[in-house]
Each structure stands twice: as structure tokens, then as C-alpha cells.
Amino acid sequence: MSDPARAGAVVYAKDISRVSAYYAGVTGLEVTHSEAGHVVLESPALQLVVVAIPAQIADSIELADPPIRRTGTPIKLVFPVASISAARQAAQALGGELNPPEREWQFQGVRVCDGHDPEGNVLQLREHAR
């Protein structure tokens, strides 16, 4: 499935196994490659690479449990999902969180919900409105 010309994103993480499992479980991306230092997840339209933060930097980063959303970033990853409700359950089980249903909204014909992964990185999920 690898296509270097595909749209993509990179997420830096302290725990690449946990963060990549989160994105696979919540968004349905498939792990196509994994080695020390990075994990590649893909769909026909997107490649997401989870890269290990260098140890000297990672040691200085404190993660809260539960994670605190990192709202001070200008980037928000967006993923299509078949069901925000199912993704919400997966997110909770995998250490992240999605906003509750009453905070979802409609945008350009899709239902939208924000959340964060196990390390607090913000994301948005979009489900085709029925």
C-alpha cells in the first residue's frame, strides 16, 4: 500500500506503540511497517507516521494520566471514520478521549467530533451524516 506521493502526517510520540495502536484502533488505519523509531499506518488516502521523540527530549516531557489535550498547537489531524460513536468507545479503551455527543457538530455534510490521543495530541473525526 505504500505510496510516497500520498497525503500524510507525522506525529511525534514518547510511546510509539501505544500511539500507533490508538490510531489503528480509532481510525481504522492499517499498520504497514514498524521498526525501532517509527510506525507507518496507512489507508488508500493517507499515510500517518508515528515517530519516536528522541530520548533526550522525551525525558523532559511529562504526560498526565488521563492525558491533557495539547491545545497550543496550530495543527489538528482529521480522520474519516464510519462511526464516531464506535470510535469514541475505541478511543476511551486505547487511552485517548473524544468529546461527548452533545459537543459534536455538522460541517459540510459530515458529523464532526474533536478529541485527543493518549499523549494529548488533538485530532478530529468526521462521519458522513446520515
Using one digit for the tens of pLDDT, what is the confidence trace for 85-110?
A: 999 999 999 999 999 999 999 988 89
What percentage of residues in the chain have a pLDDT greater than 70? 95
What CATH number matches the domain at 7-56+67-128, 2.60.40.420, 3.40.1360.10, 3.10.180.10, 3.40.220.10?
A: 3.10.180.10
Mean pLDDT of 49-66: 92
Domain boundaries, the chain: 7-56+67-128
DSSP 14-34: S-HHHHHHHHHHHH-PEEEEE
Q: Which residue has the cell 490508538?
A: 22
- The alpha carbon dihedral of 98, 24, 38, 63 has a sign of positive
Q: Which amino acid is at 118?
A: P
Kindly report the pTM of this predicted structure. Answer: 0.85
The two beta strands, 46-52 and 7-13, are: parallel
- In angstroms, the CA 56 to CA 5 distance is 32
Written as nine digits, the cell of 116 is 485527543
